[in-house]
Amino acid sequence: MGSTSMALAKLLSDDDPDTIRLVKEQLIDIGKKNPSTLQDLANAGDARVSFHARDVLTHIDGCRAEDDFNLLCLLAGDCFDIEEAVWALAKVIDSSVCVLPFRNQINDWGNEFLERVACVWDNSERVRLLSEFLGGELEFRGNSLQYYGEENSHLPCIIESRMGIPITLTLVYQMVAARAAMRIEGINLPGHFIARHGEVFFDPFHGGRILSRADIEQLLARQDMELKDVHLRPANSRQFLLRILANLLYVYDLSDEKEKRERIKSWMQVLTGASINP
């Protein structure tokens, strides 16, 4: 550890909260310009020094993640990589999370599914095998008991718990299937989100159950709505991301987390504005 790092370490081990706060504010600037100094402190033998340095690293990572996501929203057209967008959102929700192990897990599941579906060409059978794998063996299911929770829109949490809401479970099905060259589209129904492969509609929230047109009509009838062809159009990437953000906005409304709510609103406004003025 160099002389600068040693001096900073001494200040970080101080008992005065104001001193700690001022040093950490300085470390934010130092860490952006010279990450190695901050990393030295994070690996220090003194637990207090390490704790404060890691806290600063998390803050810097959070700022970078938010900047990246802001840029994604600003530059987004109707079609962009929704998977990359949701991984970026995961870093915004929790800047301390390392998404690589979760991405690797999706890749592993995709490779395993590819072996099962490689010689199957019937769309209904492919959907059945996908649902049997994800909804059956891996037990991905709808989180009915805690539907309005942040974790249901946070991809790493969904992969760990195997629970989510309709749109994020559809995303998991889509990601795993894509690694087996199987195209899954999201269908942005009012009040529910389902999936489609070719002509086959299915419901990842309920274990991948295949849906007939009558089933979908019944879903809308519960809301006193009549099914129209427009309801069955695939959601583009912008619509997909906007609905995920809308779910988070509702969660933060319920929990009265004003700062998070305003941040989500700003992204939604950018995405909606870009849709109006491409």
Query: Residue 139's pLDDT band (boundaries 50, 70, 90)?
Result: very high
201 and 89 in a single domain? The answer is yes
Domain containing 29 equals 3-75
108 and 129 in a single domain? The answer is yes
pLDDT for 65: 80
Convert the pLDDT of each residue in 162-199 to its tens digit: 999 999 999 999 999 999 999 999 999 998 999 999 99
pLDDT for 31: 66
Query: Residue 95's pLDDT band (boundaries 50, 70, 90)?
Result: confident
Among the listed residues 208, 205, 189, the one whose alpha carbon sits nearest the alpha carbon of residue 197: 208
- Distances in Å between the Cα of 162 and the Cα atoms of 99, 142, 156, 263 are 16, 9, 10, 27
Domain boundary among 36, 57, 75: 75
49 and 87 in a single domain? The answer is no
Which of 66-80, 114-128, 176-190, 202-216 has the lowest average pLDDT? Answer: 66-80
Answer whether residue 44 shows pLDDT above 80. no
- pLDDT over 90, % of the chain: 64
Query: Residue 77's pLDDT band (boundaries 50, 70, 90)?
Result: confident
154 and 46 in a single domain? The answer is no
94 and 224 in a single domain? The answer is yes
* 124 and 199 Cβ atoms separated by less than 8 Å: no
Domain boundary among 56, 75, 94: 75
185 and 131 in a single domain? The answer is yes
Q: What is the mean pLDDT of the chain?
A: 87
- The verdict on pTM exceeding 0.85 is no
Query: Residue 18's pLDDT band (boundaries 50, 70, 90)?
Result: confident
d(CA 104, CA 278): 34
CATH number at residue 143: 3.10.620
111 and 247 in a single domain? The answer is yes
Convert the pLDDT of each residue in 227-248 to its tens digit: 999 999 999 999 999 999 999 9
Answer whether residue 250 shows pLDDT above 90. yes
187 has which bridge partners? 194, 234
Greater confidence, 89 or 47? 89
Please give the tally of structural domains in the chain: 2
Among the listed residues 194, 186, 195, the one whose alpha carbon sits nearest the alpha carbon of residue 220: 194
Answer whether residue 276 shows pLDDT above 50. no
97 and 53 in a single domain? The answer is no
Edge-to-edge strand list for the sheet holding 185-187: 185-187, 194-197, 200-203, 209-211
Convert the pLDDT of each residue in 4-16 to its tens digit: 667 666 667 767 7
CATH number at residue 33: 1.25.10.10
55 and 101 in a single domain? The answer is no
20 and 149 in a single domain? The answer is no
Domain boundary among 51, 75, 99: 75
Average pLDDT over residues 248-273: 92
Average pLDDT over residues 42-58: 71
- Distances in Å between the Cα of 226 and the Cα atoms of 30, 57, 131, 145, 189 are 59, 52, 28, 28, 11
174 and 213 in a single domain? The answer is yes
102 and 166 in a single domain? The answer is yes
pLDDT for 5: 66
